[in-house]
Structures are given as structure tokens and as C-alpha cells.
Amino acid sequence: MVGGFSLTFRSISHSGQCANSISRELAWRRSRSRINRVGTRSSRISASVHKKMENIRVFVVSDLHTDYAENMAWVKCISSRSHQEDILLVAGDVAETYDKFFSTMSLLTRRFKHVFFVPGNHDLWCRKEGEDFLDSLDKLNALLHACGELGVESNPLIIGDLGIIPLFSWHHESCMDFRVLTQRRT
């Protein structure tokens, strides 16, 4: 929702700059019916009339790296009373291990009313996990399942007048050279 008007994927990608805009449009149509609207299903993203966003703050944090004791101590020091109506967006790199990830997100959900998560590269590393995960995608599925158990959102949700849409995307340094992208088949 921008300035009272909702943008559709079609209006953004219709410029023809995306070679696979048709497949993206189909994926968007399939996924938009899954967007939660504070407990109800909706086929559109639009402003909620449930309540205004008064006295609700939105915080963003990334790179917590709670595998390090001092970083976990910092998370534990976040007030468990001051943020009970607030929203926290966790933008990746929570922890390298599943256990630390789970305990960190558990702590955060007890401190904030809504917690959203988008994975970072360190969250998907398997080097300290032993044989627990086949690969990073297997670990991603486990992390998203853990989020579901803990009440952490990783899907779009409308809260009051605010629509939050977590996007999963990763960057590779080869994306900086656009000539390389035109030579690859995606």
C-alpha cells in the first residue's frame, strides 16, 4: 500500500523488463490468497480497518549472530515489558545453528507482539550442524517450521494500517556484472 493506493505485481512488472514476468505473475496470483489479515484470509493486500497504528512501534534488527555469547546476552537484555505492543522485523543472520536460532526467536517472541523473520546467509549455513540437515534448503525448511511453532511470521501480514511483506532473496557478487546475467539462462 503506497499513498493509499495498492500496487499490483502486474503494474510493476508490465514494463517488460522482466523476462519471466508471466511466471512471476502466476506465482504472485497463487501466493496472494495466502496472505493473512490478522486472522482472516484475503485475496488482496489492502489497508485494514481493524485499528489504527497508534502507540505501536516497528523495530528492525539484523545480524544478531547469537552464536556469540555477548550477542545472546544483548538479546536477553531487551525489555520484556517495553515492547509488548510493538513489531520486530528480523532481517537475517540470527544464528548459524538451529538450536541458537530457536532459542533466540523464542526470546524475541516473548518480548514483542509480532516478530517477522527473513533468513540471511548465516542462518542457512550447515557447517556447525553436523549431519542434521542435508543442505541449506533443508535447513531453511526447518527454520521456517520453527518460526511457525513459535508464532514468528515469515509470510505477509497486515497489522492495523501496516502491511508487512517479508521477501526472501539473496545476492551473489556475479549479479553486479549485468553482462554475466544476460549470458546465463535462468
Q: What is the residue extent of each domain of the chain? A: 49-183
Q: Quick one: pLDDT at residue 112? A: 96
Helices (H) and strands (E) in the chain, counts: 7, 7
Each residue's pLDDT tens digit, 15-68 = 333 334 444 444 444 444 444 444 434 434 444 444 566 778 999 999 999 999
C-alpha dihedral (137, 30, 161, 166), degrees to nearest 10: 10
Could you say which DSSP state residue 162 is in? Answer: E
Each residue's pLDDT tens digit, 166-175 = 988 766 666 5
Determine contact, residues 87/59, Cβ cutoff 8 Å.
yes
DSSP helix/strand/coil, 91? strand
DSSP helix/strand/coil, 108? helix
Confidence of residue 180 (pLDDT cuts 50, 70, 90): low
DSSP helix/strand/coil, 95? coil
pLDDT of residue 8 exceeding 90, the answer is no
Give the whole-angstrom CA distance, residue 141 versus residue 157: 20
Q: Which of 7-21, 66-80, 163-177 has the highest mean pLDDT?
A: 66-80
Q: Quick one: pLDDT at residue 170? A: 67
Phi-psi region of 151 (alpha: psi -120 to 50; beta: other; left: phi over 0): left
pLDDT of residue 152 exceeding 50, the answer is yes
Determine contact, residues 168/136, Cβ cutoff 8 Å.
no
Q: CATH classification of 49-183, choosing from 3.40.1350, 3.30.70, 1.25.40, 3.40.1260? A: 3.40.1260
pLDDT of residue 100 exceeding 90, the answer is yes
Could you say which DSSP state residue 175 is in? Answer: G
Q: Quick one: pLDDT at residue 125? A: 86
Each residue's pLDDT tens digit, 129-147 = 777 888 888 999 999 999 9
Q: Quick one: pLDDT at residue 4? A: 37
Angle at 170 between CA 98 and CA 159, to 5 degrees: 75
Determine contact, residues 105/150, Cβ cutoff 8 Å.
yes
Q: Quick one: pLDDT at residue 53? A: 66
Q: Quick one: pLDDT at residue 2? A: 35
